[in-house]
């Protein structure tokens, strides 16, 4: 890569209004938060105290093990949701019979919050790990399916007609029109779905007591949700905030990765 080009791009990125605006807003937020904590307006620990705890936890394997557990649970549920949700959404979009059969059941189940499934899934699934993964799966699943159906149904009729008149078979139409035409909606569904999966996994870990997975190489933990709950029970308020920020960072990284993946697989949507 051309080093001059790279440094020019880095400089352009650093000098962009967007970056500076975001940095300035974050700094103002931290200053206000610090002031609120020091003057006693807020009982939330000051960011300086949170930063100290954060640096201490950086060397604690149990903290990273909680990251690992939650990430594993989110991604196992999320990947299952994608693997089942995309084909189901596409099938419902292209087949009236499947849509007519499945959609009513889907619409009855969809409004049930994933967390309402926690007790039932603890009873139903043999391990707590599976229960948490199932609830995480549900969180992402509905978002994926709804977006896939919407995306496939929104493909302009002209594209089908053009493809048909150029001699496309049904398989060609599925592969060359429906699939790429739905891809942007699949990415949107995935981005929304993984956000919900993070929200759900934390709550599920709190409710289920951190699941059944407990230690690895001396590190103990029950996921970030359990980490927060444990910090609350142990009275470590700075750790609670560290746990909350960790979830925010995890969610942000997951969404950013999916957006990046989306940019790669939908090059025609890149900003001109």
Partner 1 sequence: MSSEPAPVYEPSIAPPAPSPTRRPDGSRKGEIRIENVVKVYGSQTAGIRAVDNCSFDVPAGKITVVVGPSGCGKTTLLNAIAGFHSITSGTICLDDQVLCGPARPKANPGPDRIVVFQNGALFPWKTIIENVAFGPMVQGLLSRKQAYAKARTMLAEAGLRDLESNYPGEISSGMRRRVEIARALMNDPKVLLLDEPYRALDSLTKSVMHEALLETFDRNQVTVFFITHDLEEAIFLGHRVVIMTTRPCRPKKILNVDIPHPRDYSVLTAKRFREYLDETVEAVHEEALKAFAAGERER
Q: Where does this chain bind partner 1 (CB under 8 A)?
A: 156, 158-159, 161-169, 172, 176-177, 180-181, 183, 266-269, 272
Among residues 166 and 233, whose Cβ is nearest to partner 1? Answer: 166
Buried b (16+ CB within 10 A) or exposed e, 12-42: eeeeeeeeeeeeeeeeeeeeebbeebeeeee
Dihedrals phi, psi of 215, to nearest 5 degrees: -150, 155
Shortest CB 158 distance to partner 1, Å:
4
CA distance 49 to 248: 18
Among residues 94 and 183, whose Cβ is nearest to partner 1? Answer: 183
Shortest CB 172 distance to partner 1, Å:
5
Shortest CB 151 distance to partner 1, Å:
12
153: left (phi over 0), alpha (psi -120 to 50) or beta: alpha
CA distance 161 to 173: 10
Shortest CB 150 distance to partner 1, Å:
17
CA-angle at 145, arms to 143 and 146, nearest 5°: 65
Among residues 115 and 183, whose Cβ is nearest to partner 1? Answer: 183
- Residues 166 and 38: beta-carbon distance below 8 Å: no
Q: Which residue has the tokens 């103990």?
A: 220
Shortest CB 30 distance to partner 1, Å:
40
Among residues 176 and 259, whose Cβ is nearest to partner 1? Answer: 176
Among residues 30 and 163, whose Cβ is nearest to partner 1? Answer: 163
Among residues 68 and 159, whose Cβ is nearest to partner 1? Answer: 159
Q: Which residue has the tokens 């209004």?
A: 17
The candidate with the shortest Cα–Cα distance to 185, out of 160, 150, 158, is 150
Shortest CB 19 distance to partner 1, Å:
27
């Amino acid at each position: 890569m051309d080093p001059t080009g790279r440094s020019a791009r880095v400089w352009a990125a650093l000098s962009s209004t967007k970056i500076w605006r975001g940095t300035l807003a974050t700094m103002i937020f931290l200053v206000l938060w610090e002031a609120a904590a020091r003057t006693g307006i807020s009982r939330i620990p000051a960011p300086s105290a949170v930063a100290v705890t954060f640096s201490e936890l950086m060397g604690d394997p149990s903290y990273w093990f909680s990251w690992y557990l939650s990430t594993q649970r989110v991604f196992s549920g999320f990947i299952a949701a994608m693997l089942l949700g995309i084909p189901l959404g596409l099938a419902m979009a292209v087949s009236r019979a499947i849509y007519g059969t499945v959609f009513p059941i889907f619409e009855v189940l969809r409004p049930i919050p994933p967390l309402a499934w926690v007790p039932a899934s603890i009873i139903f699934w043999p391990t707590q790990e599976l229960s948490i993964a199932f609830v995480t799966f549900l969180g992402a699943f509905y978002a994926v399916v709804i977006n896939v159906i919407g995306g496939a149904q929104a493909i302009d009729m002209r594209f089908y007609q053009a493809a048909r008149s150029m001699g496309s078979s049904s398989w060609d139409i599925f592969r060359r029109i429906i699939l790429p035409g739905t891809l942007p909606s699949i990415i949107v569904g995935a981005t929304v779905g993984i956000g919900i999966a993070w929200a759900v996994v934390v709550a599920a870990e709190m409710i289920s007591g951190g699941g059944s997975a407990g230690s690895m190489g001396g590190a103990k933990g029950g996921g970030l949700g359990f980490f927060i709950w444990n910090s609350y029970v142990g009275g470590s308020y700075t750790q609670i905030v560290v746990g909350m920020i960790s979830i925010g960072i995890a969610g942000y990284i997951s969404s950013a990765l999916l957006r990046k993946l989306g940019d790669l697989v939908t090059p025609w949507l890149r900003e001109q």
